[in-house]
């Protein structure tokens, strides 16, 4: 955990995240790993962990049928298997069977998904699909985990004898029970079990009337438990057979343990894989609950948080029915030291802690609650100075503790260090402490470190404004109702709103005015200026928000207009096509009506409708030729605009010499359709050709010269 001291982990409340994760784990090994989870600066290893977690979250969120991680760890089995002549307990074989079945299911799942989830697939390198383990165990155990009767011929024989003896014992007992019940010698319960033997419950006054072995009596002595004499030798025989059964089972399990021990490397791989998946699955459950994402990981030193929120604050607010506001901010080479100012209880510390906690979560291999377009890097070390850390044991005041921390920071800080300093410079005389804080700030700046600093000191705000790679930020405050907004704004310092917060908390205006009178005018004017800037910025943000809203509404209205326009144009075209078709039908109908009117039915002339029929025939020929001409025109236009398709039949080859012979007036043919036409105009590679009633522009390569 080089570069990540325990104080940083404590200050950022990372233990809360660990406890959260532990509740999601199944086995003790994964729980132990999560209990010890810490940020790392092994960048390559972190990136692999994050990619595995990202892939597992994808599996869970898109509804893939990943096998349920229902297993028990194999720690006991792994300790016993290497021991010579060791015997696994029956439940151990059941655990191994379940582990083998689960791993086989996981291998089947990834069989066709190796490209989809490459990082998770690499976890399977030490395991392989096999039913050998399962089949060996299933020969001995049934589905309930009991040893089968046919696990060995000897066991089968012993159990047959046991069943025969038990049946005889029960038969004898039932006979004796009926006999003595009829004679009234038995108590109300009639029978009982003592030391796993079935005995009669006899009234003590009649105990001498029943032959058998007395095995006990009731607490009051009113009842005596007697084993019928006829069953005494049979029960002794049953005990001997049961002992034979135990010895045979021990031998069977010993042989099975030796057989299973040959697969010890595979069983060890089962344990490693399932614990790793349990570990990743717990982190996945946290990611899903937080709706966390994997931000873009950049190699340059950069923090770009979009819609980030503090996970512990989010959980607490959710439990109380409150909304958690997200924060957006950027730290990069140009703005690597951020100074956050603003009112007390306005959210400065929680903004600083959000940055720090999300960073160490990421470097612990966890997804974080930010927008997926966020970008973060990895830091070699993250150092914090947050809260009151007095030490009675070492007799350190808060300020002394902070000075010791700062000494350490100045010693180890570099350009891959992230510093999180809350209430920077406080704990001593304001003027003297502020001056020392200013010097510390400059030293850390010279080391090119990254830092997030909260402060009320005007000197630190001015210094951040003066230095090129430092930047101010503030927590916004609503001066209208004297309430913090808990929203971060980057680019300018914020007023502490000391007097406004005092007024909000019930301090009288007289006392506030009296306090103002004790300050010099420049200090009051500066605070007033910052307050006015805050108001102006809020006004501009509101106007910008209204502008963006209006712009969005305008874009939506434009989109609706364009969609309606397209629909109207499509409808108009449909109507025009309909009108044209109706006009054709109408004209044809009028023509046919004229023919009908000319038709003569009663006349003395011979063949009076001969000319009419001739006119009808000519009309039909003309109309039919128009339709065919229209079809040919469409075919030619399609052939002229589409590339020549490859066909199985050989297409006549036209050499370059023939194409060069094509001039105005030449007769040419379309290579594909074999349609002949006359050249009217030549414009480089485009040639205008007349085909009957049509004029088309055709590429030279699609024509062949005829004459």
* 210 or 120, higher pLDDT: 120
Q: CA angle 206-210-215, nearest 5°?
A: 90
The closest alpha carbon to 24, from 282, 332, 374, 337, belongs to 282
- For the chain, how long is the longest CA-to-CA vector? 148
Q: Is 435's pLDDT higher than 90?
A: no
* pLDDT band of 360, cuts 50, 70, 90: very high
Give the strand pairing for 223-228 and 694-699.
unpaired
pTM here? 0.68
Q: Could you tell me the pLDDT band of residue 652, with boundaries at 50, 70 and 90?
A: very low
- Of 504 and 644, which is predicted with more confidence? 504
Q: Residue 278 to residues 68, 105, 145, 272, 511: CA-CA distances in angstroms?
A: 11, 15, 25, 10, 61
Phi first, then psi: what are they for 669, rounded to 5°?
Answer: -125, 145
Exposed / middle / buried, residue 462 (Cβ in 10 Å: 0-12, 13-18, 19+): middle
Identify whether the C-beta of residue 448 lies closer than 8 Å to the C-beta of residue 413.
Answer: no
How is residue 542 written in tokens?
A: 């509101």
Residue found under tokens 């055709």? 698
Query: What average pLDDT does the segment 589-603 reach?
Result: 78
Backbone angles phi, psi at 674, to 5 degrees: 65, 20
Q: What are the sequence ranges of the domains in the chain?
A: 15-148+258-292, 297-495, 610-705
When mean pLDDT is compared across 142-146, 197-201, 492-496, 605-609, the lowest value belongs to 492-496
Q: For residue 57, with 0-12 CB atoms within 10 Å meaning exposed, 13-18 middle and 19 or more buried, which class applies?
A: buried
Helix (H, G, I), strand (E, B) or coil at 496: coil
pLDDT for residue 342 is more than 80: no
Are 264 and 341 contacting, i.e. CB atoms less than 8 angstroms apart?
A: no
Lowest mean pLDDT among 145-159, 364-378, 387-401, 500-514: 387-401
Rounded to 5°, angle at Cα 504 from 498 and 506: 105
Per-residue pLDDT for 249 more than 80? Answer: yes
pLDDT in tens, 304-318: 999 999 999 999 999
Average pLDDT over residues 670-674: 74
The fold adopted by the segment(s) 297-495 is Rossmann fold (3.40.50)
Q: Report the 3 state secondary structure along 222-249.
A: CEEEEEEHHHHHHHHHHHHHHHHHHHHH
State the DSSP code for 421. E
The tokens describing 556, both together, are: 């939506």
Q: Tell me the pLDDT of the chain averaged across its residues.
A: 84
Tell me what percent of the residues of the chain surpass a pLDDT of 90.
43
Query: Alpha-carbon distance 123 to 382, whole Å?
Result: 30
- Residue 649 is predicted with a pLDDT of 42
CA dihedral over 264, 71, 144, 146, signed as positive or negative: positive
Give me the pLDDT at residue 262, please.
Answer: 93
The residues near 357 (Cβ < 8 Å, ≥ 6 apart) are 12, 13, 14, 17, 310, 311, 312
- Look at the chain and count its residues: 707
pLDDT at 394: 44
Mean pLDDT (whole number) for 667-672: 80
Please indicate whether residue 198 or residue 99 has the higher confidence score (pLDDT).
99
Under the banding of pLDDT at 50, 70 and 90, the label for residue 647 is very low
Owner of token pair 């929120």: 309
pLDDT at residue number 651: 44
* Model pLDDT for residues 550-577, shown as the tens digit of each residue: 888 888 888 888 888 888 888 888 888 7
DSSP 3-state of 562: helix
Residue 331 has pLDDT above 90, yes or no: yes
Helix 264-290 vs helix 14-22: crossing angle, to nearest 10: 120
Domain 15-148+258-292: assigned CATH number: 1.10.1420.10
CB 704 within 8 A of CB 663: no
pLDDT (0 to 100) of residue 246: 94
Which tokens is 220 given?
């009051």
Percent of the chain at pLDDT exceeding 70: 84
pLDDT on residue 551: 84
pLDDT interval class at 279 (50, 70, 90): very high
Task: Quickly tell me which residue has 């305008």 as its tokens.
Answer: 554
Residue 672 has a pLDDT of: 73
Q: Helix, strand, or coil here: 221?
A: coil
Residue 218: per-residue pLDDT? 84
Model confidence band, residue 102 (pLDDT cutoffs 50, 70, 90):
very high
The per-residue pLDDT for range 24-55, each reduced to its tens digit, is: 999 999 999 999 999 998 999 999 999 999 99
* 413 vs 398: CA distance, rounded Å: 22
Q: What is the pLDDT of residue 72?
A: 93
Q: How far is CA 223 from CA 127, 194, 215, 219, 517, in A?
A: 63, 13, 11, 8, 100
């Amino acid at each position: 955990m080089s570069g990540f001291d325990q104080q940083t982990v404590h200050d950022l409340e990372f233990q809360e995240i660990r406890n959260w994760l532990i509740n999601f784990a199944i086995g003790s090994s994964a729980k132990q790993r999560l209990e010890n989870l810490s940020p790392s600066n092994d960048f390559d290893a972190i990136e692999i962990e994050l990619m595995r977690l990202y892939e597992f979250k994808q599996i869970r969120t898109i509804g893939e049928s990943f096998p349920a991680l229902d297993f028990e760890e194999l720690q006991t089995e792994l300790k016993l298997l290497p021991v010579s002549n060791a015997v696994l307990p029956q439940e151990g074989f059941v655990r191994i069977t379940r582990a083998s079945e689960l791993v086989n299911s996981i291998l089947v799942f990834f069989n066709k998904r190796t490209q989809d989830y490459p990082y998770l697939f690499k976890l399977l390198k030490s395991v392989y699909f096999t039913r050998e383990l399962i089949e060996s165990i299933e020969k001995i155990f049934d589905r309930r985990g009991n040893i089968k009767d046919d696990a060995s011929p000897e066991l089968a024989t012993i159990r047959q004898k046991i069943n025969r003896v038990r049946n005889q014992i029960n038969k004898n007992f039932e006979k004796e029970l009926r006999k003595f019940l009829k004679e009234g010698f038995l108590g109300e319960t009639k029978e009982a079990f003592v030391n796993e033997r079935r005995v009669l419950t006899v009234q003590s006054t009649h105990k001498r009337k029943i032959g058998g072995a007395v095995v006990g009596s009731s607490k009051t002595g009113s009842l005596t438990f007697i084993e019928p004499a006829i069953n005494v030798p049979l029960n002794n025989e049953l005990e001997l057979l049961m002992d034979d059964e135990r010895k045979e089972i021990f031998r069977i399990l010993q042989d099975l343990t030796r057989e299973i021990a040959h697969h010890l490397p595979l069983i060890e791989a089962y344990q490693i894989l399932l614990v790793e998946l349990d570990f990743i699955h717990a982190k996945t459950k946290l990611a899903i609950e937080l709706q966390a994402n994997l931000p873009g990981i950049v190699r340059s030193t950069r923090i770009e948080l979009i819609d980030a929120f503090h996970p512990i604050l989010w959980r607490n607010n959710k439990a109380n029915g409150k909304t958690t506001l997200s924060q957006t901010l950027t730290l990069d080479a140009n703005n690597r030291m951020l100074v956050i100012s603003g009112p007390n209880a306005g959210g400065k510390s929680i903004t600083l802690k959000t940055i720090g906690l999300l960073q160490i979560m990421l470097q612990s291999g966890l997804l974080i609650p930010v927008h997926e377009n966020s970008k973060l890097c990895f830091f070699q070390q993250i150092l914090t100075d947050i809260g009151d850390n007095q030490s009675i044991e070492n007799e350190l005041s808060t300020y002394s503790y902070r000075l010791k921390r700062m000494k350490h920071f100045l010693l180890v800080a570099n350009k891959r260090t992230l510093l999180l300093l809350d209430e920077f410079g406080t704990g001593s005389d304001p003027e003297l402490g502020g001056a020392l804080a200013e010097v510390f700030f400059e030293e850390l700046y010279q080391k090119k470190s990254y830092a997030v600093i909260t402060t009320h000191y005007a000197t630190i705000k001015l210094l951040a404004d003066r230095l090129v790679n430092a930047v101010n930020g503030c927590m916004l405050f609503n001066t209208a109702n004297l309430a913090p907004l808990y929203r971060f704004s980057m680019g300018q310092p914020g007023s502490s709103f000391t007097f406004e917060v005092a007024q909000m908390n019930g301090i009288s205006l007289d006392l506030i005015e009296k306090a103002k009178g004790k300050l010099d005018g420049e200090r009051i004017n500066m605070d007033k200026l910052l307050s006015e800037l805050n108001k102006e910025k809020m006004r501009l943000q509101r106007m910008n928000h209204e502008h963006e809203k209006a712009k969005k509404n305008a874009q939506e209205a434009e989109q609706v207009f364009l969609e309606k326009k397209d629909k109207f144009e499509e409808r108009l075209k449909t109507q025009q096509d309909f009108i044209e078709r109706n006009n054709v039908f109408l004209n044809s109908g009028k023509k046919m009506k004229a023919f009908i009117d000319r038709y003569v039915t009663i006349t003395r002339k011979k063949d009076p409708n001969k000319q009419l029929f001739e006119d009808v025939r000519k009309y039909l020929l003309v109309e039919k030729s128009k339709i065919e001409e229209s079809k040919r025109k469409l075919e030619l236009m399609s052939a002229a605009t589409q590339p020549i398709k490859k066909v199985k039949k050989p297409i006549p080859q036209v050499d370059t010499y023939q194409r060069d012979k094509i001039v105005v007036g030449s007769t040419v043919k379309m290579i594909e359709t074999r349609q002949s036409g006359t050249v009217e105009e030549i414009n480089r590679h485009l040639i205008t050709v007349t085909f009957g009633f049509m004029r088309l522009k055709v590429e030279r390569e699609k024509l062949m010269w005829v004459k």
